[in-house]
Amino acid sequence: MSKNTVKAYQEKIDRHHLDINELLMLEDNELKAALHAGSPSFKDTRYDDLKSQLDYYLKELRRVGVTRKLLWEEYRARYPDGYSLSQFYYHLSQHAHSSKGSLPLEHTPGEALFIDFAGKKMKYTDRETGEILEAAVFVACLPYSDYGFAMAVESQQMSEFIRALKVCLKTLGGVPAVWVPDNLKAAITKPDRYEPSITRAMEDCANHYGATVIPARVRHPQDKALVENQVKLVYQRVFATVRDRQFFSIHEINEVFVERMLKHNQTRMQQKSYCREERFLAKEKPLLLALPEQEFDIKYYCSLKVASNNHIYMGRDKHYYSVPYKYQGKKVEVVYTRNIVEIFADTERIAAHIRSKKQGKYSTDISHLRSTHQHYLKRSPQYYCKLAKDPTLEKFFKLIFEQNKPPEQLYRTCDGLLSLKRKFELQHFKKACQVAIDNRVLSYTFVKNTLANKTFLNQEEEQYKPFPQHNNIRGKGYYTQASINFNIDE
């Protein structure tokens, strides 16, 4: 140690009246703190003013167009005797790097699946129009083995996100218990550090597979550092290798992803004695939850009002679906998938239909209608013959429909006859119908007038009367003889 250094220490001890014996009892770090209290600049009153503003300056730097020099100029406008530009930069940089550090995390095999979308997109050409289209890239990885999965999809919308997630789980051959997505719009409706709101579709999907969704914290990429790194590896091992290749469909892109990601997972990792696939197959795949037998379908939810015709209108498909008529004018909850439409009232399912996309058409369950409406829809010649429940009236209906007229013109005649059947005695009604049949007057008005005037009572049934017995009656033999013999009695 040089003489001047010893002299400097001696001056500090004398100036602060320190006891050498006490100093000798201190540990090295304590002794250093006692003799090196820090840079004099931190005792400067200017630093106290700047320190209170450093968090604000770092926050402002995230805004578009804000630079350090602009902030320094604003700082000097308020504090003309403040730090120079270089000192301002230095203290700002020191404060920015005084972070909390990071903690290496120990991941449990098969427990979590990190999910994200790559910032860059793959491009392909539409064969018919020649238009250049972009495909989003879904990326996921298992943090324990760093086993990666990537897939191109049309967009980051919910349906495409869920489809990619289903393909990912099918590729893994099992389900990790915890899903950790970034704050994607398809997965998270309201990002929050403590209680983020998960989309209904994401929640339904997780429930279907028996998993739990725990989103990463907002603006905390270290929570999902492995999938962020996986995205970089996808850029290097997929994007870069096909940068000059022209694709004509998303299917072609995904064929490349399958090939390159397999190679990526089978590549030996640096400073490791294994590859990602080996570690995944040995340690993680046996611990994954089993895939459910039935594939998940996204459920969409909406609240609709039942119209006076006891149908709801699905604006997405421009189609109408029937609801039991007692719910007319009430609000109902509609849950629909790609194939099924279910309607609920007070948590009770009151209707279900096969989803149809025929615009302006109706899907109607006849049992949902009033009896009068059911009768109207069921009308047919066979329906009326079955409704007659009487041989005479059934015969009358058959004769009515044998006329050379459209059946729709004859339905009201049949309705009128059924009304007369309910109003008059059955025996009288049957006699009136029989009169109409005998006279071939196939009219509701004729039967009505016959019943009102009781003219059917005048129709006496003809009694069979034998011919009188006398000699003037010629029999069969008379007309069959070859020649006629006139026998004249004398």
322: which strand partners? 311
pLDDT tens, residue order, the chain (490 aa): 899 988 888 888 888 888 888 888 888 777 877 777 555 544 567 887 888 888 888 888 888 778 889 899 999 998 888 889 998 988 888 887 765 555 556 778 888 898 888 888 999 998 888 899 999 999 999 988 889 999 999 988 888 888 999 999 999 999 999 988 877 666 665 554 544 567 788 888 889 999 988 887 655 555 556 667 788 888 888 888 888 899 999 999 999 999 999 999 998 888 788 899 999 999 999 999 999 998 888 888 889 998 877 889 988 888 989 998 888 888 999 998 878 899 999 888 999 999 888 888 888 887 787 665 555 556 677 777 777 787 888 888 888 878 877 766 677 788 888 888 888 888 888 888 888 888 788 888 888 888 887 766 665 444 445 656 666 666 666 666 655 565 555 4
336 beta partners: 300, 341
Taking Cα atoms as reference points, which of 124, 121, 132 lies closest to residue 247? 124
Asked if residue 421 lies in contact with residue 387, where contact means CB atoms within 8 angstroms, the answer is: no
pTM for this model (two decimals): 0.54
Q: How far apart are CA 343 and CA 355, in angstroms?
A: 12
Q: Is 150 helix (H, G, I), strand (E, B) or coil?
A: strand
End-to-end distance of the chain based on CA atoms, in angstroms?
188
Say what angle helices 85-97 and 68-78 make with each other, to 10 degrees: 120
Cβ partners under 8 Å of residue 446, min gap 6: 436
Question: Which residue's entry shows tokens 């329906």?
Answer: 383
Residues of the chain with CATH 3.30.420.10: 112-287
Q: Quick one: fold of 112-287?
A: Nucleotidyltransferase; domain 5 (3.30.420)
C-alpha–C-alpha distance, residues 147 and 215, integer Å: 20
**What are the two backbone dihedrals, phi and then psi, of residue 411, each rounded to the nearest 5 degrees?**
-60, -40
Find the Cα–Cα–Cα–Cα dihedral 228, 231, 236, 237, rounded to 10°.
130
